[in-house]
Structure 1
Amino acid sequence: MATNNVKQIHDFGQSIWLDFIDREIISSGKLKQLIDEDGVRGVTSNPAIFEKAITSSADYNEDIKTLGATAATTEELFFGLAIKDIQAACDLFESVYNEEVAGADGYVSLEVSPFLALDAEGTATQAELLWKQVDRKNVMIKIPGTKPGLQAIQASIANGININVTLLFGLERYEEVTEAYISGLEEHLAAGHKIGHISSVASFFLSRIDVVVDPLLEAKGEKALVGEVAIASAKKAYEIYKRVFSTERWKKLEAEGAKPQRLLWASTGSKNPAFKDTKYVEALIGPDTVDTVPLETVDAFRDHGIAANTLELGLDEATAALAKLKELGIDLDAITQQLEDEGIEKFNKPFEKLLKAIEDQKDKV
């Protein structure tokens, strides 16, 4: 029997997480099948995913009715619905979490309210609340890697909470995130706690970078770089990862059982129909990383994806590509900040729509 293409990725040290959740995929056995047959090793969710799940199904009506009787706000009602799904998925991934090195994988991510993206204190408070409410050792709370988010990330790690840092686009911000993680671990350790159970990923968003940069390159006649900048950025991020997690400072934490904060590739579905639909997945397969992919990309990779150790290939070309952008007067730092701002808005809108849909549903039931 031929080896499953998706499962093969794990041979190169990368974990595939599914960027999707709803009740149907859990109850139908489809998620269990993805774990068993494709080697899927975790799940990520976000407001847009839950908006789609809750508004396109009657699966949540009964819970909306029950939770609606006691929830003080619609947001509280939403988190009640979401937590039930997250707990069910965490339980499904418990065997993965307990494999080989306990806590290496098997995580399910739940995001704090996107309305808190620029509120450090509010984010840290809600992260702690959600952590306690889900009450599963293999949940990760998602916090956006905004400037205020850095403070919340450090505080949450210092509190012993698993964190998925989301919405990362720029290399400078990514390095600040690694600092927040390491400082948080140091705080937790200094307070007399063990740190081996704490896990974190830093989610680097890819295809959206190319969506903005490619038209600028085409306008300057630089077609050779089209579709290459996001991948080049990711390869440079991996260089930072390897440097940061090999310092003497890190080795002291590692001796206490600390796990490196893995890089996670997000937004890996191709937005440009001219690109191969598995382009971003194929280009960034390498050790100690995670790739979170939507269902259609899992299906595409299973069908025709090529698994190979590609992450550290072409590093000189990646460096040259980013240098060429500067020569062309394309300010990648400004673009990544723009993408972060737009990203917050892209999560706020579905969240507003989701809360409105829950209110409407509550009135009906």
Structure 2
Amino acid sequence: MGRLNDLAAKGQAVWLDFVDRKFLEAGGLQKLVDEDGLTGVTSNPSIFEKAMGHGEAYDAALAEYDKANPGASTMARYEHLAIQDIQAAADTLRPVYDRLDAKDGYVSLEVSPYLAADTDATIAEAAKLWAEVDRANLMIKIPGTPQGVPAIAATIDAGINVNVTLLFSIDAYKAVALAYVAGLEKRAERGEPIDRIASVASFFVSRIDTRIDDAIDARVKDGDAESEALKAVRGKVAIANAKLAYAWYEEFITSDRWQALAARGAMPQRLLWASTGTKNPDYPDTLYLDTLIGADTVNTVPPKTLDAFRDHGSVAETLSADVDGARHTLAETERLGLDLSGVTDALVEEGVHSFAKAFDDLLGAIAAKHPEAVA
């Protein structure tokens, strides 16, 4: 039992932010499940681009698919490879899912980032991927954009697990939390079961500090009173933002609206901390794990950060600590004109574009492996 296992005692699950065929086939995921208590896996277009677009790990499977499906589109070829990986990861985690009675053990697969602004297409894509992967412990990733909110409610209503991604602001998080509830309520009204439907809300952290810190650094002048106030919030805004999102969650699950669903067996939508690799070398490499530990949460971690926490992370219930301090940090952020809401809005848009660019690169790499394939 090590530090990663100890997080479970605090109510926090650890998921791996990484998928790769060689890693799966070599038993790397199973090893993390057995030794570190890992209970989930997330993927995104950037992860698949790195996995599929480089090296030869997928070439044999792709050649076999192309032989059986001449003229298949590049998108179909990608989905075939991705679904194989997601199914393999889901099968590895199925004993975890069964042992925890559907409370964990999930693998996430993202809808196409090209659909982020199209509600109906997102709903259709979620249903298609759910059917094709055909694993109870799958979560479909849907971005928490304004167009994604109704798609989330509809997908939950259809009985499909959802991982809401690209959340940066507390207001956006509240909207998707209420969309989850609305989807459950519609099922409950029809008398359909809601006790084995799961969702997480992926709240991104490090990217906020990167953007805010850059703004602070551009304004700091030695000996200036405002500069001292700016330096006092440097590296603290993302954590404060996350803490206040969690404070809202803790209050919401005591509400009559949620308790009515809980009485029918509904599972709360857990906050999941994403973008937890430390971008700034001046900060501890386990910063966004050490400071965000709390009950009913998930931390999805890239392999390098996972190794760092196993080696020297700190385990304590930090998420609910000094919430007043977090409120003060965000109040100072507003007073100093650091425009957190503008930053979070921009990060959502950039995140959608970044995933779309990674998807472009991924599809281009797959097409290049079989130039005769249909674009």
Q: Do both share a fold (TM > 0.5)? A: yes
After the TM superposition, which parts of structure 1 deviate over 4 Å for at least 4 consecutive aligned residues?
none
Q: TM-score, normalised by structure 2?
A: 0.94
Listed as ranges, the matches of 1:164-313 within 5 Å are 164-218=163-217, 219-220=219-220, 221=227, 222-313=230-321
Q: Which moved more, 1:58-67 or 1:109-118?
A: 58-67
My pick for the range that moved more, 4-13 or 63-72, is 63-72
| Cα distance between partner residues in 1 of 2:55 and 2:39 | 26
Q: Partner of 2:91: helix, strand, or coil?
A: helix
Please state how far the C-alpha of 1:11 moved relative to its aligned partner. Answer: 1.3
Residue 347 of structure 1: SS of its match in structure 2?
Answer: helix
Partner letter of residue 150 of structure 1?
A: V
The 8 Å contact of residues 71 and 77 in structure 1, kept in 2 or not, is answered as no
**Stretch moving more, 284-293 or 209-218:** 209-218
User: How many residues align structurally?
Assistant: 362
Partner of 1:80: 80
What are the superposed Cα offsets for residues 83-137 of structure 1, whole Å, 9 maximum, x if unpaired? Answer: 00000100100111111x4011100000000000111110010000000111000
**Unmatched runs of 5 consecutive residues or more in structure 1:** none
Equivalent pair of 2:233/2:333 in contact (CA under 8 Å): no
The one of 338, 355, 360 equivalent to 1:352 is: 360
Conserved? CA contact 1:178–1:244, under 8 Å? no
Q: Which moved more, 1:340-349 or 1:5-14?
A: 5-14
The equivalent residue for 1:23 is 21
Aligned CA RMSD, in angstroms, stands at 1.3
Q: Name the SS for the 1:308 alignment partner.
A: coil
**Distance (whole Å) between structure 1 residues aligned to residue 154 and residue 72 of structure 2:** 27
- Comparing 73-82 and 295-304, the one that deviates more: 73-82
SS in 2 for 1:303: helix
**How far apart in 2 are the matches of 1:339 and 1:275?**
21
Shift of 1:63: 2.1
Match of residue 158 from structure 2:
159
- How big is each residue's C-alpha offset from its partner over 1:229-274, in whole Å with a ceiling of 9 and x where there is no partner? 0000000000111122211111111111100000000000000000
- 8 A Cα contact 2:78 2:363, kept in partner: yes
Match of 1:318 among 318, 326, 350: 326
Match of 1:110 in 2: 109
In structure 2, runs of 5+ residues without a counterpart are 221-226
The AA in structure 2 aligned to 1:162 is N
What corresponds to 1:332 in structure 2?
A: 340
Match of 2:97 in 1: 97
Inter-partner Cα distance in structure 1 for 2:55 and 2:28:
16
Which secondary structure does the structure 2 equivalent of 1:10 belong to?
helix
Tell me how far apart the structure 2 counterparts of residues 260 and 20 of structure 1 sit (CA, whole Å): 25
